[in-house]
Amino acid sequence: MNKRVKAIAITAVLTITFLGMLREHQSTLLTPIQRWIHQPDLAEREKSIALRPLISCLNSVDGRWRHAYTNYLKRDRPVDPTLKKRFPEDFDQMVSVREQLNYPSVHDAYGCRLNTLQKDNLQKSAPELLALQNRFETTLTAANEAARSFDFFNSKPLYSVSPADKAERDNLFIPLVNDYLNASDQLRRELGAEDLGLRKVQLEQLKTRDQLKYAHILTYMLEARTLMLKLDNGVRDRTFTASDLSDATLPLQQAWDDGSRYMQANSATSNADYPENIWNYVRSPGKHYLDAVNKLHDDWAAKASPQQLSDDFERIGRRYDQLIEVYNDRVNSLL
């Protein structure tokens, strides 16, 4: 799933113009691994349980909805003839197949409601998130109801519509979408902060209990997320410099090097080794993400063209999306 939108201007600092507020990767959340700590503190275990369905919803339903909306906005725009050369992976024969799979049935794929028990858990462990979740749920429902009245939930238009009719439809639809995206953005920010605080506590517990393989994996994933947030925020605010990129890359590179050395020196004795299994799956996309970050650094230092730097930024976001998707898929399969 291509979750990124185009970066179009890079000057002395890296800057970007977004289509709406569709930075899906910016707050993509890591699926909690409850088996990481065998005997966690009760409050932390309860919070992890409370956050898990909300994280799952945002990573699947919310991400899928944003992707559909990005494609909807592109329907009437001409295709950039340079895209195939710049991003050949988008034109692989399987891309259209994957696109179709990203549009499953409306009722199953685009609704996101917590049940009574899940809401009770959220009220107990993270009450400040419940009101945000309720607003998110309400605005998503309203946007879905409007979207079901036409062919929004299809990868390609099913029928033609006149510009006047589309403008009339969008005058009703777009404000509902903006309400939903604003609610989603706010929930993502607050949930991300709650989740990050919990992960830092878990990381210290892992180190204390000598669960170092788990600790190295979590350290790398947190550094990958931190760098993506810094890059996105700095680019959006037009404050991100080449020096900022160098400084932000160091912890990510260190986490990768430390994790690689430790895993190599302490290789698994069984195929059932749980952390080794996760590491083996995230190793390739993790390296691709790091390589993409380093390419932006090198091209920036070489004073590459604005288009090249813009493409580098786009590719970093794509690699990050792929890393998180592989990580979360593997975690879910091993729970």
Digit-coded pLDDT (tens) for 42-79: 677 788 888 888 888 888 788 888 888 988 988 878 87
pLDDT value at residue 333: 65
Cβ neighbours around 307 below 10 Å, total: 14
Across 4-18, 86-100, 271-285, least confident range: 4-18
CB neighbour class for 13 (10 Å; exposed up to 12, middle 13-18, buried from 19) = middle
Q: Which among 291, 299, 213, 305 has a CA at the least distance from the CA of 259?
A: 213
- Residue 179 pLDDT greater than 70, yes or no: yes
Between residues 212 and 268, the one the model is more confident about:
212
Strand partners for 14? 10, 240
- Residue 281 pLDDT greater than 50, yes or no: yes
C-alpha–C-alpha distance, residues 12 and 14, integer Å = 7
Angle between helices 306-334 and 274-301 (to 10 degrees): 170
Q: How confident is the model at residue 85 (pLDDT cuts 50, 70, 90)?
A: confident
Give me the mean pLDDT over the 21-33 stretch.
48
C-alpha–C-alpha distance, residues 73 and 52, integer Å = 31
Q: Which among 113, 121, 128, 131 has a CA at the least distance from the CA of 45?
A: 121
Between residues 153 and 102, the one the model is more confident about:
153
- Residue 130 pLDDT greater than 50, yes or no: yes
- Residue 248 pLDDT greater than 60, yes or no: yes
pLDDT value at residue 31: 58
- C-alpha distances (whole Å) from 167 to each of 157, 160, 163, 164, 173 are 16, 13, 6, 5, 10
pLDDT value at residue 88: 78
pLDDT value at residue 28: 55
Write the single-letter amino acid at 171. Answer: N
pLDDT value at residue 316: 93
Between residues 332 and 325, the one the model is more confident about:
325
Specify the pTM.
0.74
